Amino acid sequence: MQWRNTSSHYGVISIALHWLMALAVFGLFGLGLWMVGLDYYSGWYKTAPDLHKSIGLLLFAVMLGRMLWRWISPPPLSLPSHGRLTRLGTALGHGFLYLGLLALMISGYLISTADGRPIEVFGWFAVPATLTGIPNQEDVAGLVHEYLAWALVVFAAIHALAALKHHFIDRDRTLARMFAR
């Protein structure tokens, strides 16, 4: 197995980044759904949001690394069996996932820093509040964050279904390439 992508296969780094981000995004979505229902007297009332923010900021760093890696090691070429619409759908879908994730993470940052306080990341370091004072910053960013989270999770499910369709109906290598086969 190669570290870098080839013209026909994903490399170990791309595969690891893909699945790490998928796991983190769905985990953060579940954590977010759970934590908004906590009441003030729950032991997790402060801990869950701190955990969500810390993982989210680390995911942002991984996302930037993934984008850099995609530039250094471009993804494999489309399969010959993929038509023009499939290629276009793939490009648009991946673009939406990348831009949507970036917007989701930026909106999370804007929610967390609206009061001017930095975000502590597991007590290791703090990310300063650089954008504050935007009218209704926390509320607007909160709505963007919520709707984008739902949109991305639904779209990621569609992405997974498309991969399963390629594997079981089209019987091509689309899914197998993301499992290092």
Q: Are 19 and 57 in contact (CB under 8 A)?
A: no
Give the pLDDT confidence score for residue 1 in this predicted structure: 76
| Residue 180 in this model has a pLDDT that exceeds 90 | no
Give the pLDDT confidence score for residue 36 in this predicted structure: 93
Residue 43's domain comprises 12-177
- What spatial distance separates the first Cα and last Cα of the chain, rounded to whole Å? 9
Give the pLDDT confidence score for residue 116 in this predicted structure: 95
CATH of the domain at 146: 1.20.950
- For 121-132, the pLDDT digits (tens) are 999 999 999 988
Name the CA dihedral angle for 149, 160, 21, 84, rounded to a multiple of 10 degrees. -100
Give the pLDDT confidence score for residue 133 in this predicted structure: 85
Give the pLDDT confidence score for residue 181 in this predicted structure: 59
**Size of the chain in residues:** 181
The CA–CA distances, whole Å, from 123 to 54, 84, 94, 175 equal 9, 49, 33, 38
Report if residue 158 sits inside a domain: yes
Report if residue 27 sits inside a domain: yes
Our count of domains for the chain comes to 1
Report if residue 78 sits inside a domain: yes
CA 12 to chain centroid, in Å, comes to 18
Counting Cβ atoms within 10 Å, is residue 168 exposed (0-12), middle (13-18) or buried (19+)? exposed
Report if residue 5 sits inside a domain: no
Q: Spell out the alpha helix ranges (H) of 1-125.
A: 12-35, 47-72, 84-112
Give the pLDDT confidence score for residue 99 in this predicted structure: 98
In which element (H, E) is residue 127 found? Answer: strand 125-127
| Residue 157 in this model has a pLDDT that exceeds 70 | yes
Q: Are 163 and 82 in contact (CB under 8 A)?
A: no
Per-residue tokens: 180: 């290092």
Report if residue 101 sits inside a domain: yes
- For 44-92, the pLDDT digits (tens) are 999 999 999 999 999 999 999 999 999 999 999 999 999 999 999 999 9
Per-residue tokens: 144: 């963007």
Report if residue 135 sits inside a domain: yes
Report if residue 127 sits inside a domain: yes
Report if residue 4 sits inside a domain: no
Give the pLDDT confidence score for residue 179 in this predicted structure: 84
Mean pLDDT of the chain: 95
- For 10-49, the pLDDT digits (tens) are 999 999 999 999 999 999 999 999 999 999 999 999 999 9
In which element (H, E) is residue 7 found? Answer: none
